[in-house]
Amino acid sequence: MPLKLPKLLVALTILLLLGCNPTDNRASGGNPNLISSAEIVNEADRQRMRNEGRRLAAQAANSPPPRSDQLYMRSAEAYLRGEDIKNARASADKVASGRLPPADLFDWNMLSAEINMKSGALGTALNSLSERPPGQLNSAQLRRYYLNKAEAHRLSGNLLESARARSDLDALLSDPREKMDNQLRLIKTLTPLSDTALELLQPSPPGLLGGWMELARVFKKHGDDIAMAKPAYEQWRSRFPDHPAAADLYAGSVERIQTQYHRLEQVAVLLPQSGPLKGPAGAIRSGIMAAYYAVPNELRPSLKFYDSSKPSKLDAIYQQAMDEGAVAVIGPLGKQAVEQIANRAELPLPTLTLNRIPAGQRPPANLYQFALAPEDEAQQAAERAWHDGHRQALALVPDSRWGKRVLEAFRSRWLALGGSLVEHKLYKEKQHDFSKEIRALFKIDTSVARHKQQQRQQSGKAEDLPKPRSDADVLFLAASPEKARAIRPQLQFNFAGEVPIYATSRVYNGWPNARLDRDLAGIRFPDHPWLLIAEDGATSRAAVARLFPSSRNKYPRLHSMGIDSYNLLGQLEQLAADPQAAFDGKTGILRLDRQRRIQQQLLWAEMKNGKPEVIGYLPRKPALATAPLGNLPSP
């Protein structure tokens, strides 16, 4: 009988491949001390690369050209692999590229593109990748070119061009495993596109890229049912008989799932069944159960729920779960309960809590922390605005504990990136007219006075309308959907409608409503892929709504958190062993940091015509310490 596997595990396999970077073909320049990116798995490896970068830079400073140019290039390469972008750029800038021979000039251009991608300068990186590579390049250099081009387009949100570069790369690969890895990455690049987009963007004739686009639709539709996928795949193959997609592409993904997924015999779930967290806990439970039912019977663990409403009883409950055979734990949820668990003298079982311990507190062994932290979203908003070229920010946030937390998170990250927070204003949660705060924040009254003076001086005629201040180019907005729907039109009314706006996911309630959300036009925000990408399958939003009808309109982000918490348990060992490994979750691309906290890489969207339109993921940047959380993850 064919094994039926859930789509989320198929997607997981592809993203786990992305974590190990198997197609990194950067040459070492003959330097025995320069290890490949795929081999760098811990801080000691990165420090070794930084030390090598310093050694080579010092050697280059005492060498004549062209030897100095070669050494500076190798120094920049080492710094880059050591994740020291500043010194990588400094070494690369010392290369006199005008005197490099063609092959070395190409390597320098690739190195510059990689540094620019790491630092978020995607436009510059894409410019250096826009010209066709010269004809005298070797295979490794061509692979590096197409890999960089695919990554730069992916990070910029141009998924179709990223897939095209992957298709070109595929023709250069001969190793079966590398070819399989690249093809799975190619499919994963295309799957965030809607079926409508995949159909409308289909080239004519379809050719290689069109074949990949059609195959991506097969993965999207049948990824959770191998038996159903087989005839669909065979039908696709009959349409594209000469397509280079591996015949065992589906089988290969399933095989990797089976070897990577760590099956657990019994899982204890600690969630409150009464009190203020009962509703959020119920949403998480629904997500856990949806993920549980998506797994074939033979792979399901025994799942037992325990009431963690009273933190004072958690030690006894934890011990009871162990005595009853649990080998892993999900929960608890509340901040006080998580701290209680973290303060145990011993934590024998892998435990995935649903909140975080205070920043700076050392987590005990076996404690893994998964939280939907608004501070993380504010930091990613700062990173996105910086990535998009903005440097001078204004902020408008509620005068509340939550508002001040996200403001401080945005401010700290924005300043660390090199931006300037020009000014911020607080608004009251209950107010509906924000004109006073908007006009003060954008100095509209000053502009109006100047406009009136201009009218008087020109006999009632003025060339320009009042304008917002010129020393700011972006607005960070923290607001609920209701508040944002009022603030956005009032910005337009007060002559500040052209300013780019970045927000947290709170600006979107999780359900498309073009009539209500048309006033949110242009606002960019990060959110869970589960809310932004329509899909089929046992853990899709539609499936969860069918299983748990009462969950349809409440806490959508906690449903996706529940799905991920269940599926993360079997991946914690893999994520802990490899810092580059990633889990393709419903809440985002998930990685484990050195404090064993799950870090989310959220998907970005922009509101257009009242609906969120996906614009892609943001390049990863070093994370900052997260401020202490409140009692409840933001739903």
Residue-wise pLDDT tens digits, 75-126: 999 999 988 999 999 999 999 988 888 888 899 999 999 999 888 788 889 9
**Is 171 inside a domain boundary?**
yes
Residue-wise pLDDT tens digits, 262-280: 568 999 999 999 999 999 9
Q: What is the CA radius of gyration of the chain?
A: 26
Query: Mean pLDDT highest for which of 264-268, 426-430, 501-505, 528-532?
Result: 501-505
At residue 505, the pLDDT reads: 97
Q: Distance (Å, rounded) from C-alpha 109 to C-alpha 104?
A: 9
Mean pLDDT on 188-210: 81
**Is 632 inside a domain boundary?**
no
Lowest mean pLDDT among 434-438, 549-553, 560-564: 549-553
pTM over 0.85? The answer is no
Please give the structure tokens belonging to residue 247: 């015949």
Q: Which residue has the tokens 């990194």?
A: 24
Clarify whether residues 554 and 419 are in a common domain.
no
C-beta separation of 307 from 273 below 8 A: yes
C-beta separation of 411 from 421 below 8 A: yes
**Is 398 inside a domain boundary?**
yes
Clarify whether residues 325 and 391 are in a common domain.
no
Give the CATH number for residue 96: 1.25.40
Q: Which domain holds residue 512?
A: 374-449+466-528+602-621
Q: Distance (Å, rounded) from C-alpha 596 to C-alpha 617?
A: 22
Of 166, 197, 228, the domain-final residue: 197
At residue 617, the pLDDT reads: 81
Please determine, for residue 619, whether its predicted confidence score (pLDDT) is greater than 50: yes
For residue 360, report the phi and psi dihedrals to the nearest 5 degrees.
95, -20
Clarify whether residues 309 and 419 are in a common domain.
no
Q: In angstroms, how far is the first alpha carbon of the chain from the final one?
A: 40
Clarify whether residues 425 and 499 are in a common domain.
yes
Instruction: Tell me what the pLDDT averaged over the chain comes to.
Output: 84
Clarify whether residues 361 and 330 are in a common domain.
yes
**Is 508 inside a domain boundary?**
yes
Residue-wise pLDDT tens digits, 137-172: 899 999 999 999 999 988 777 889 999 999 999 999
Q: Distance (Å, rounded) from C-alpha 99 to C-alpha 65?
A: 9
Clarify whether residues 489 and 363 are in a common domain.
no
**Is 204 inside a domain boundary?**
no
Query: pLDDT class for 616, splitting at 50, 70, 90?
Result: confident
Give the CATH number for residue 300: 3.40.50.2300
Clarify whether residues 378 and 366 are in a common domain.
no
Query: Which residues are registered as beta bridge partners of 329?
Result: 268, 351
Clarify whether residues 366 and 485 are in a common domain.
no
Q: Distance (Å, rounded) from C-alpha 465 to C-alpha 173?
A: 59
Could you check whether the bond before residue 489 is cis, i.e. omega within 30 degrees of 0?
no
Clarify whether residues 389 and 366 are in a common domain.
no
Beta-carbon contacts of 436 under 8 Å, excluding residues fewer than 6 positions away, are: none
Question: How crowded is residue 242: how many other Cβ atoms within 10 Å of its Cβ?
Answer: 7
**Is 1 inside a domain boundary?**
no
**Is 33 inside a domain boundary?**
no
- CB half-sphere exposure, 564, CA atoms < 13 A: 28
Q: Distance (Å, rounded) from C-alpha 384 to C-alpha 372?
A: 18
Residue-wise pLDDT tens digits, 301-312: 999 999 999 988
Query: Which residues are registered as beta bridge partners of 177?
Result: none
Clarify whether residues 119 and 183 are in a common domain.
yes
Q: Distance (Å, rounded) from C-alpha 206 to C-alpha 178?
A: 25
Q: Distance (Å, rounded) from C-alpha 346 to C-alpha 348?
A: 6
Answer positive or negative: Cα dihedral of 517, 519, 522, 523: negative
**Is 26 inside a domain boundary?**
no
Looking at the 3D structure of the chain, how many domains does it have?
3
Clarify whether residues 140 and 183 are in a common domain.
yes
Of 177, 197, 217, the domain-final residue: 197
Query: pLDDT class for 30, splitting at 50, 70, 90?
Result: very low
Clarify whether residues 551 and 502 are in a common domain.
no
Q: Distance (Å, rounded) from C-alpha 391 to C-alpha 487?
A: 22
Q: Please, what's the b/e burial string for 37-69 (b: 16 or more CB within 10 A of its CB; e: otherwise)?
A: beebeeeebbebbbebbbebbeebeeeeeeebb
Query: Which residues are registered as beta bridge partners of 269?
Result: 305, 330
Q: Distance (Å, rounded) from C-alpha 505 to C-alpha 374?
A: 8
Query: pLDDT class for 490, splitting at 50, 70, 90?
Result: very high
Of 197, 215, 237, the domain-final residue: 197
Could you give the dihedral angle defined by the CA atoms of residues 144, 46, 257 and 182, in that order, rounded to the nearest 10 degrees?
0
Residue-wise pLDDT tens digits, 345-384: 889 999 999 999 988 788 898 999 999 999 999 999 999 9
